[in-house]
Amino acid sequence: MLKFILRRLLLLIPILIGLSFLLFVWVRALPGGPATALLGERATPERVAQVNAAYGFDKPVLEQYVKYLGRVARLEFGQSITLRKDVTDELFRRFPATIELAMAAMTFAICVGVPLGFAAAKRERSWVDNTAVIASLAGVSIPVFFLAQILKWIFALQLNWFPTIGRLQPTRELEHVTNFNTIDSILAMDMGALGDTLKHLVLPGIALGTIPLAIIARITRASVLEVLNEDYVRTARAKGMSRRIIDRRHVLRNALLPIVTVVGLQTGLLLSGAVLTETVFAWGGIGQLISGAVLDKDYPVIQGGVLFLAVVFVLVNLTVDVLYAVIDPRIRVH
């Protein structure tokens, strides 16, 4: 197991080098340039030249890339052109917001998707099954930004149950130790801030978790249907075992592998920045940061953010591979 983990971590190095090169070439192929985006109407040829010289954009591309690769090896992604802040510090400051949102969305998706898919499989071709299939198709089909706006209009503007934007009410003071509002609220023993944080998580969590919920429900249904037809399930029924024990020990446990796979992949995608959801709800995570950087042609933020999220995605997939052996002892990772 340890050799497998080390091998995967070593393979991460060439993957990131290749990604960094492609990303480096891509952002410089964008029309315009960071100096023009930064200066706006004040962009004269002289001032553009000054900005390019200050950030090294006037150097040959290969020379720029070699220097950039050296900085990346030291976890130095440079300084944001528009924010005038260190990119590494900004990524780590915003990443907890993305993690909180992703975990809220995935908790919602798992808690609803797995029981829904399991119930649909147990009642195949019934109204429960048909409803679950239709609901999953609708969940995948509805655009996230449209669903987010609908949720805001109904539950925030009309019913006034939940806040519309942000992670915390602007008037509420909370000392940020970890930048996780839930953890910081608990550390400060501020239950009001904790409740406010959870209220802010509901609408963006549901909006972001709808597509993973639909996918998890469909995978769960298919996996459970396959296991229900296995010989060992029929044998357990013939021995007179209760339905609850059969479902827990034999059906659900053996159906978990594909479910864990899709949960891991979806978690990696959510942690990679929910651009649309974070933008609609002004969440302030990495997704919103990279979205603004693309519009502003902020090269250091784009490059640093995408590489950072690539590492997160690979590590999440590695965790899923390791969990296989925990869930099913027949699987051995070498």
Pick from 205, 213, 204: which is nearest to 138 by CA?
213
Q: Is pLDDT of 168 > 80?
A: yes
Percent pLDDT > 90 in the chain is 4
Give the pLDDT of residue 14: 85
Report residue 228's pLDDT band, with 50, 70 and 90 as the boundaries: confident
Domain spans, the chain: 88-288
Q: Is pLDDT of 181 > 70?
A: yes
Is 88-288 assigned to CATH 3.20.20.70?
no
Give the pLDDT of residue 86: 87
Report residue 328's pLDDT band, with 50, 70 and 90 as the boundaries: low
Q: What is the pTM of this model?
A: 0.81
| DSSP of 141-179 | HS-HHHHHHHHIIIIIIIS--S-SSSSS-TT-----SSS
| Dist. CA 41–CA 156, nearest whole Å | 38
| Dist. CA 109–CA 107, nearest whole Å | 5
Average pLDDT, the chain: 81
Report residue 331's pLDDT band, with 50, 70 and 90 as the boundaries: low
Give the pLDDT of residue 74: 83
Report residue 54's pLDDT band, with 50, 70 and 90 as the boundaries: confident
C-alpha distance from residue 280 to each of 142, 213, 226, 232, 271 (Å): 15, 20, 39, 49, 17
Q: Is pLDDT of 225 > 70?
A: yes
Which range is least confidently modeled, 41-55, 179-193, 319-333? 319-333
Tokens coding 101: 């949102």
Pick from 288, 316, 259: which is nearest to 109 by CA?
259
Give the pLDDT of residue 108: 92
pLDDT digits (tens, 9 = 90+) for 122-145: 887 888 888 888 888 888 888 888
